């Protein structure tokens, strides 16, 4: 039995980056031997075990063969005869197909270290094209390592394009797709993920609603970058620069989908794009089974982001309706994330990235004022049930009018 550290742990050590998760491959062992040493089995499809003390994953060296469509369409074979090189060749990229023993002696049959030094993301073998999930994975790695100057090898990009055209992407499950998308959005340059998907033709398959934004103009006076797709990428970039959470980044990606539905004869204006985009946002949410908090914020940002930009101009009654829509009394964090998404939208414009966004503090102040209206005096006056709700609404409206007048001075 020989044990090797493999994949990302080796890659990141060589890059001088922190190593968080460690994967191990065991060569020359059987399932029975692993169980006898106290390892606990966890793999339903192939032999993966948890170390009895560390809890880290140890997988028996294995080969795989394509047997169906999609990410799960593979037959695995694990036995003591499978070599380390045979196990590594089934991996996606050369930089992920390296291994090292406990003395840090490197096994690198597919020149991953050379590609690390050259800053190239390159597939290990033609078998790359058998797994459609790898299109998303490579795009995610491109986003992760863009700041280090990595690019995708032309021949790998060509295989990704072939996969995008093959119909295999449609066989991916929502869960697997979302796992890659959500991880990619949390990288330092998530816009690169979208750019790569678009370049290889995957974006029009996975997110045609986002793909449709490219080439759609906006009024230059408000959007110097003009192109709606470029604007979306810039908003996503800003969300990463400002360390926004996944909910905000997802909303930033989807906030302008309605602009893709505007007839060409109406360009560059996009009247009511907020309302038109709601059905598209809901469709994308459902397609990837995004978490509930991501879904809710994306819909609300899509519907109300222009309200955010016009906050200082809104009537007190409209401002109250906005606050009510977000349930700022019970869910203040969601409204804070809405404000953040609006600010990223405003900053995601060419040449305006550093412009201040006074609407943010104004909206926060309005929420504080509305939340500050006490219920107890109304109860003491005898209000209850629906009448209490209406009385509370009147008091909040009165408070917001006073706030608006004071802010204007």
Query: According to the model, what pLDDT value does residue 409 have?
Result: 74
**pLDDT, tens digit (0-9, with 9 covering 90-100), for 317-362:** 999 999 999 999 999 999 999 999 999 999 999 999 999 999 999 9
**pLDDT, tens digit (0-9, with 9 covering 90-100), for 76-118:** 688 889 999 999 999 999 999 999 999 999 999 999 999 999 9
Q: What is the CA radius of gyration of the chain?
A: 26
- Expressed in angstroms, the distance from the first to the final Cα of the chain is 78
**Which one, of 96, 89, 85, 84, lies nearest residue 121 by Cα?**
96
The per-residue DSSP string of 248-291 comes to HHHHHHHTTGGGGGS-GGGTT--TTHHHHTHHHHHHHHHHTT--
Helix (H, G, I), strand (E, B) or coil at 29: coil
Residue position matching structure tokens 């295999």:
168
C-alpha dist (Å) from residue 367 to 68, 110, 138, 243, 245: 53, 57, 42, 23, 21
**pLDDT, tens digit (0-9, with 9 covering 90-100), for 201-217:** 999 999 999 999 999 99
Query: According to the model, what pLDDT value does residue 44 have?
Result: 66
Query: According to the model, what pLDDT value does residue 45 have?
Result: 66
Higher pLDDT, 7 or 135: 135
- The phi, psi pair for 50, rounded to 5°, reads -100, 135
The kind and range of the H/E element at 390 are: helix 385-408
pLDDT band at 64 (very low <50, low <70, confident <90, very high): confident
Q: What is the mean pLDDT of residues 251-264?
A: 98
Whether 72 has a pLDDT exceeding 60, the answer reads: no
The per-residue DSSP string of 301-318 comes to HHHHHHHHHTGGGS-HHH
**pLDDT, tens digit (0-9, with 9 covering 90-100), for 370-386:** 999 999 999 989 888 99
Residue position matching structure tokens 């090292």:
100
Q: Please tell me whether the overall predicted TM-score, pTM, comes out greater than 0.85 for this model.
A: yes
Residue position matching structure tokens 């504080």:
368
Q: What is the mean pLDDT of residues 143-154?
A: 97
Q: Which of 70-84, 149-163, 356-370 has the lowest mean pLDDT?
A: 70-84
Q: Say which CATH class 1-110 falls into.
A: alpha beta
**Hey, where are the domains in the chain?**
1-110, 242-361, 372-408
**pLDDT, tens digit (0-9, with 9 covering 90-100), for 218-236:** 999 999 999 999 999 999 9
Q: Which residues of 179-202 are buried (b: 16+ CB within 10 A; e: fewer)?
A: ebbbbbbbbebbbbbbbbbbbbbb
Beta bridge partners of 23: 6, 57
């Amino acid at each position: 039995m020989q044990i090797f550290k493999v994949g990302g742990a080796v890659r990141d050590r060589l890059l001088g980056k922190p190593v968080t998760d460690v994967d191990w491959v065991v060569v020359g062992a059987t399932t029975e031997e692993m169980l006898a040493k106290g390892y606990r089995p966890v793999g339903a499809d192939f032999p993966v075990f948890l170390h009895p003390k560390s809890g880290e994953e140890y997988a028996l060296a294995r080969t795989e063969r394509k047997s169906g469509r999609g990410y799960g369409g593979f037959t695995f074979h694990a036995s003591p005869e499978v070599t380390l090189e045979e196990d590594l060749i089934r991996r996606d990229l050369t930089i992920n197909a390296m291994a090292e023993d406990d003395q840090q002696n490197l096994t690198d049959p597919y020149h991953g270290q050379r590609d690390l030094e050259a800053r190239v993301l390159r597939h290990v073998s033609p078998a790359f094209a058998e797994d459609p999930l790898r299109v998303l994975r490579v795009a995610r790695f491109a986003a992760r390592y863009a700041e280090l100057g990595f690019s995708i090898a032309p021949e790998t990009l060509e295989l990704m394009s072939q996969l995008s055209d093959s119909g295999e992407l449609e066989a991916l499950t929502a869960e697997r797709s979302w796992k890659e998308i959500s991880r990619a959005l949390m990288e330092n340059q998530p816009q690169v993920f979208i750019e790569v998907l678009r370049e290889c033709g995957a974006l029009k398959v996975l997110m045609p609603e986002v793909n449709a934004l490219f080439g759609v103009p906006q009024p230059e006076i408000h959007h110097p970058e003009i192109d709606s797709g470029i604007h979306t990428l810039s908003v996503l970039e800003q969300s990463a620069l400002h360390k926004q959470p996944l909910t905000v980044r997802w909303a930033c990606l989807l906030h302008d989908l309605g602009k893709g539905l505007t007839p060409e004869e109406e360009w560059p204006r996009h009247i009511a794009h907020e309302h038109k985009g709601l059905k598209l946002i809901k469709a994308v949410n459902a397609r990837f089974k995004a978490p509930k908090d991501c879904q809710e914020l994306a819909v609300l940002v899509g519907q109300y982001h222009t309200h955010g930009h016009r906050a200082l101009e809104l009537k007190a009654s409209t401002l109250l309706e906005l606050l009510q829509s977000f349930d700022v009394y019970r869910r203040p964090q969601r409204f804070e994330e809405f404000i953040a998404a609006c600010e990223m939208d405003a900053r995601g414009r060419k040449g305006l990235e550093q412009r201040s966004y006074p609407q943010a503090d104004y909206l926060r102040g309005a929420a504080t004022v509305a939340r500050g209206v006490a219920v107890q005096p109304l109860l003491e006056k005898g209000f209850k049930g629906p009448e209490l709700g209406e009385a509370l609404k009147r008091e909040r409206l009165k408070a917001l009018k006073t706030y608006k007048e004071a802010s204007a001075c």
